């Protein structure tokens, strides 16, 4: 039975991904800082889908401990998915450098470091799939969330470079750009229905992307058109839009 490791497994999106992979017959390792809170998820996955499931402690910010974390797993998982991330508040990020740094470390530095470590090990093995959940917010800096967006831009670039470096090695890298997702993180935000996916929709798209050998996916294809238009707006006009 092949295994998937989900990093940042306490989020709504991560839980949906775990269910999708378990339903597909994959063993699941849920990794989170407060892993003890995932006991009910582990039990549900085992009972509902009949797969092996467990929860382990993982702190994406503890870069120095990433190698030890993977060592402790024993056998390297077949697929590693990073769902780790933290949006923060743009206004606070503008005032407080520590708050801004936390957002950058949570969305770029930490996820890139752990996936880079996993990639080294998968390359030595000659197989594996790495999946990073990035964001359309990283495709162009916007006044309303440029700290978060800049971190996701870095993560997207990292995944792209890693994918190109590992081409031909037997290790695949997939970048996922969900757009808006109806989760606790976006609760209270006025998100357009047409552009807002459900967590289960994201999970199904990721599973399909792995099966089909995709490189980059927008969970809802309309986001490709939206971001193509946004990227095409000249800077002299874009900076006046305050979006």
Provide the domain count of the chain. Answer: 1
Report the alpha-carbon distance of residue 188 to residue 218 in Å, rounded. 23
List, by residue number, the catalytic residues: 148
Report the alpha-carbon distance of residue 26 to residue 122 in Å, rounded. 18
pLDDT at residue 240 in the model: 85
CATH of the domain at 169: 3.40.50.720
Element (H, E) at 32: strand 27-32
Contacts of 105 (CB under 8 A, 6+ apart): 61
In this structure, are residues 207 and 219 in contact, taking their beta carbons and an 8 Å threshold? no
Q: Of the candidates 241, 132, 130, which has an alpha carbon nearest to the alpha carbon of residue 176?
A: 132
Q: Burial of 229 by CB count in 10 Å (0-12 exposed, 13-18 middle, 19+ buried)? A: exposed
Q: How many CB atoms lie within 10 A of CB 238?
A: 17
Read off the DSSP letter of residue 186.
G
Report the alpha-carbon distance of residue 20 to residue 48 in Å, rounded. 12
Element (H, E) at 208: helix 199-212
**Domain of residue 13, residue span:** 3-241
Provide the token pair at 121: 């090990």
Contacts of 205 (CB under 8 A, 6+ apart): 176, 197, 217, 219
pLDDT at residue 186 in the model: 58
pLDDT at residue 55 in the model: 96
Read off the DSSP letter of residue 8.
S
DSSP bridge pairs for 231 = none
pLDDT at residue 238 in the model: 84
pLDDT of the chain along its 243 residues, tens only? 699 999 999 999 999 999 999 999 999 999 999 998 999 999 999 999 999 999 999 999 999 999 999 999 999 999 999 999 888 888 887 888 999 999 999 999 999 999 999 999 999 999 999 999 999 988 888 888 899 999 999 999 999 999 999 999 999 999 999 988 877 665 566 676 878 889 999 999 999 999 999 999 999 999 999 999 999 999 888 888 877
């Amino acid at each position: 039975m092949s295994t998937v490791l989900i990093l940042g497994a306490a989020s709504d999106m991560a839980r949906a991904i775990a269910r999708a992979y378990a339903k597909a017959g994959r063993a699941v390792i849920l990794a989170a800082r407060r892993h003890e809170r995932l006991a009910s998820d582990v039990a549900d996955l085992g009972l509902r889908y009949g797969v092996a499931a467990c929860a382990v402690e993982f702190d994406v910010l503890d870069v120095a401990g990433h190698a030890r974390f993977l060592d402790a797993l024993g056998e390297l998982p077949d697929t590693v998915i990073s769902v780790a991330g933290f949006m923060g508040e743009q206004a606070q990020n503008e005032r407080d450098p520590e708050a801004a740094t936390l957002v950058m470390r949570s969305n770029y530095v930490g996820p890139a470091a752990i996936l880079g470590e996993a990639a080294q090990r998968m390359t030595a093995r000659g197989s594996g799939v790495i999946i990073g959940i990035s964001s359309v917010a990283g495709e162009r800096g916007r006044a309303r969330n440029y700290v978060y967006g800049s971190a996701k831009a870095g993560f997207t670039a990292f995944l792209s470079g890693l994918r190109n470096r590992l081409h031909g090695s037997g290790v695949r890298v997939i970048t996922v750009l969900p757009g808006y997702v109806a989760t606790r993180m976006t609760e209270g935000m006025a998100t357009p229905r047409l552009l807002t996916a459900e967590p289960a929709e994201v999970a199904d798209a990721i599973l399909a992307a792995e099966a089909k050998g995709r490189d980059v996916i927008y969970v809802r294809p309309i986001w490709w058109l939206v971001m193509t238009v946004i990227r095409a707006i000249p800077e002299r006009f874009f900076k006046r839009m305050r979006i």
